[in-house]
Amino acid sequence: MGNSLHYVSEHISYIATESTWIESKAIQQLQTTANLPDMVSVVGMPDLHPGRGYPIGAAFFSSSRFYPALVGNDIGCGMSLFQTDIKKSKLNLDKLEKQLTEMADHAPLSWLNEYVPEHMKSHDFMASLSSIGGGNHFAEFQVIDEIVDSELFAQSGLNKQQLLLLVHSGSRGLGQSILRQHVEQHNHSGLDDQSNEAKHYLQAHQDALYFAELNRQLIGLRMLQQVKATGELSLDINHNSVESCCINGINGWLHRKGATPSDRGFVIIPGSRGDYSYLVSPKTSEVSLNSLAHGAGRKWMRTECKSRLSHRYTPLQLSRTTLGSRVICANKQLIYEEAPQSYKSIETVIDSMIDIGIIQVIARLKPIVTYKTSGDC
């Protein structure tokens, strides 16, 4: 075990190298969460940063009681990776960018009626399916930039000669409605896991997980159709959820808020829109509550990004990155909020997890075109 595991107390820890940006407010929020009734252990990932009351980029383990507020309002948010048939050698970046710029945020009803499964067509949030949403959600075409472990890469089934498509999105308004209903009835006090209210929430939670997974599949389909390509889903994993599990011999509930499961096979950990992503092989460890970082993690609050950057960069300049990739985001506020400068270095996040032995890097992926939103979120 390396030097990147730090204990705040017996039940509170976080993972970070000396160069990993960790705000003191995020540590305070870990402590606040650890003090909740029946909370056993909390672990901050190297992408840890402050949230609205509770930290993001963390895993929380409780017994007898679980906390929907720790999962948050985007139940099932996660990452899907698609292997496309777009050959890297035939890539026309100008054409790809133009095609994606012409795509609307929301699919027309006719498209939804054709591709949404029959049993979902009467869903209250059906119109949101195949939409990415705002915030840090995105869809990004990538190329394999470097293969670190050729044997593990061969097991992934990915083709280094063809583009990949990474989709980051969740349950859209559905997760928000589930959390709002819960908080209106129970505030932030959590639920006894034997109660009828707990069973009701877990059913709604399961529905939101399915919705989020379907949403990412439909985003991938619509993106690929937009650029006249095809692809297959290679990986899909959620990083906002709660599930029953056993940790250190204790039966309880594992909450993940911006934390990727380490017990579901290979995963993608993305950087900012101007940084690399990494394909990794996780190593399950109760020290990290069987969890990993889900990305680079914010360094600046959203509210301060525009004031920090607008005198240095125009939105047009932020649509081009130092890696040569392009960002499609017509929402002027969002392009500042999601600028690469507002995120931590993905390398420090990856190094932190390598240091404590919970991941093995398989390959590095480079962004080509990132689609954020064509207009208002």
Question: Would you name the residues annotated as active-site residues?
Answer: 294
C-alpha to C-alpha distance for 289 and 151, rounded to whole angstroms: 27
Cα 363 → chain centroid: 18
Parallel, antiparallel or unpaired: strands 65-66 and 191-192: antiparallel
Total number of residues shown for the chain: 377
Determine contact, residues 280/349, Cβ cutoff 8 Å: no
Backbone torsions φ then ψ of 181, nearest 5 degrees? -65, -40
Determine contact, residues 37/24, Cβ cutoff 8 Å: no
C-alpha to C-alpha distance for 175 and 282, rounded to whole angstroms: 27
| Cα four-point dihedral sign 214, 175, 15, 372 | positive
C-alpha to C-alpha distance for 340 and 347, rounded to whole angstroms: 13
Residue matched to tokens 């360094």: 299
